[in-house]
Chain A
Amino acid sequence: GDSVTQMEGPVTLSEEAFLTINCTYTATGYPSLFWYVQYPGEGLQLLLKATKADDKGSNKGFEATYRKETTSFHLEKGSVQVSDSAVYFCALSDPPDSWGKLQFGAGTQVVVTP
């Protein structure tokens, strides 16, 4: 079955540091890939997505590229802020069987200190 593996946290870094969160996946079909962010006490928000190989999703300074050859979708940000402190989830959706139904990674907590 489909699965998502992402690096464990917590990841603690200083403001303006470079952030990378690794995510790899296994899927039987051609999944869409997502990064969701969960700020403290809140629900999940879509951060970015990519629907086919070599697509790059980007939002709020975050980027991730769909790499089919390495089955990866690593999240990066060049200069983090304290407000980026949150839990980040890598997820996939493998349509048409699972349209809108997501398989999540374990989540990575990111703590950015001033």
Chain B
Amino acid sequence: GAVVSQHPSRVICKSGTSVKIECRSLDFQATTMFWYRQFPKKSLMLMATSNEGSKATYEQGVEKDKFLINHASLTLSTLTVTSAHPEDSSFYICSTPSGTGGTEAFFGQGTRLTVV
């Protein structure tokens, strides 16, 4: 089946710095990538939807200037957390539709971001 590779799996950064998270589709072309955020002991909340070659669509309440999403190719989507603060510490995970005509999604391994 399809594989989505997400990198890095863990990152610790200082407040005020930026962190880039990458999601790559390894054996198929991902025209769409979803980015979710998971707060401790909470469910996954959709942050934004990226489409290759166009601007991302952000969910209500998500700061597009803080969470920059780029989907420049059919195999790579990136999420950059800019000027990170401790409240941005979270688990971020990407997913892409299965592409088989079904409705399931394939998930990356997730990134645990800790801002100190």
**Number of B positions contacting A (CB below 8 A):** 23
> Which one of A15-23, A42-50, A59-67, A73-81 is at the B interface?
A42-50
The number of residues on chain A lying at the interface, defined by a beta carbon within 8 Å of a beta carbon of chain B, is 23
Secondary structure of the B contact surface, majority rule: strand
- Contact flags (1/0) for A18-43 with B, using CB distance below 8 Å? 00000000000001101010000011
Tell me if A106 and B97 are in contact (CB < 8 A). no
Q: Tell me the total A-B contact number using a CB cutoff of 8 A.
A: 62
Q: Is the CB of B43 within 8 A of A104?
A: yes
Q: Which residues of B lie under 8 Å from residue A51 when comparing CB positions?
A: 102-103
A100's partner among B43, B98, B109 (CB-CB below 8 A) is B98
What 8 A-B pairs are tightest by C-beta distance, nearest first? A100-B97, A93-B103, A43-B110, A32-B103, A43-B109, A44-B107, A106-B43, A104-B43
B binding-site residues for A, Cβ under 8 Å: 6, 32, 34, 41-44, 46, 49, 93, 95-98, 102-110
